[in-house]
Amino acid sequence: MKYQSLLNENIQLKKQIEEYQKHWIPKPEGDAASYFIQLGKSLSNNTDRKQKEKKKRAQKKLNRIYRALNLTKSQLKAAHHSTDITKTCRSITKLLYPDVSTRATMLTSLLPNETITAIREYAKLVHHQPDASTYKLTNAIGNVFAAAKHEQENSKSSKS
């Protein structure tokens, strides 16, 4: 008898569980169900998609920079300074104008805007500093020309 009463109680409890599952917490149906399904999908996949889009935009930007500067990826990587964004700008400028006598006659105002913008954008991108001062970076580019001019003047005065 004891075993039979336990079986009956078990069957009765299973029926209660089924009843609670059906009616206690109603499952959303129709628009509500589709809303929660869409919400779950957007929360789980949205970050991956955004990261892929961000990488894609960065790659497009890099390709524009390579074309604007007429330099390869490896040349720009070689010009990249590990810690200082202004040193990267100066290094790229020296790469674009390797001849010191040419640099001595240059001014930032003589450079095409596309070139200056490409140098700044590359430095901001590789140093992860999108809010870096454009004045500071343009000034670093101009310092390359000023230093070459100063060096040339010093070499002329020491020869005299």
Annotated domain spans of the chain:
57-159
Closest CA to 142 of 77, 98, 86: 86
What pLDDT digit, counting tens, does each position of 98-119 carry? 999 999 999 999 999 999 999 9
What pLDDT digit, counting tens, does each position of 24-37 carry? 666 666 677 777 77
Higher pLDDT, 91 or 51: 91
Instruction: Give me the pLDDT at residue 49, please.
Output: 72
Instruction: Give me the pLDDT at residue 146, please.
Output: 94
57-71 burial, b for 16+ CB within 10 Å, e for fewer?
eeeeebeebbebbeb
Instruction: Give me the pLDDT at residue 71, please.
Output: 93
Instruction: Give me the pLDDT at residue 26, please.
Output: 63
- Quote the pTM value: 0.67
Mean pLDDT, residues 48-72: 89
pLDDT exceeds 80 at position 42: no
Token pair 């901001």 in the structure block, residue: 124
Q: Secondary structure of the chain in the HEC alphabet? A: CHHHHHHHHHHHHHHHHHHHHHHCCCCCCCHHHHHHHHHHHHHHHHHHHHHHHHHHHHHHHHHHHHHHHCCCHHHHHHHCCCCCHHHHHHHHHHHHCCCHHHHHHCCHHHCCHHHHHHHHHHHHHHCCCCCCCHHHHHHHHHHHHHHHHHHHHHHHHHHC
What pLDDT digit, counting tens, does each position of 119-144 carry? 999 999 999 899 999 999 999 999 99
Instruction: Give me the pLDDT at residue 28, please.
Output: 67
Question: For residue 147, how many C-alpha atoms fall within 13 Å in the half-sphere facing its CB?
Answer: 11
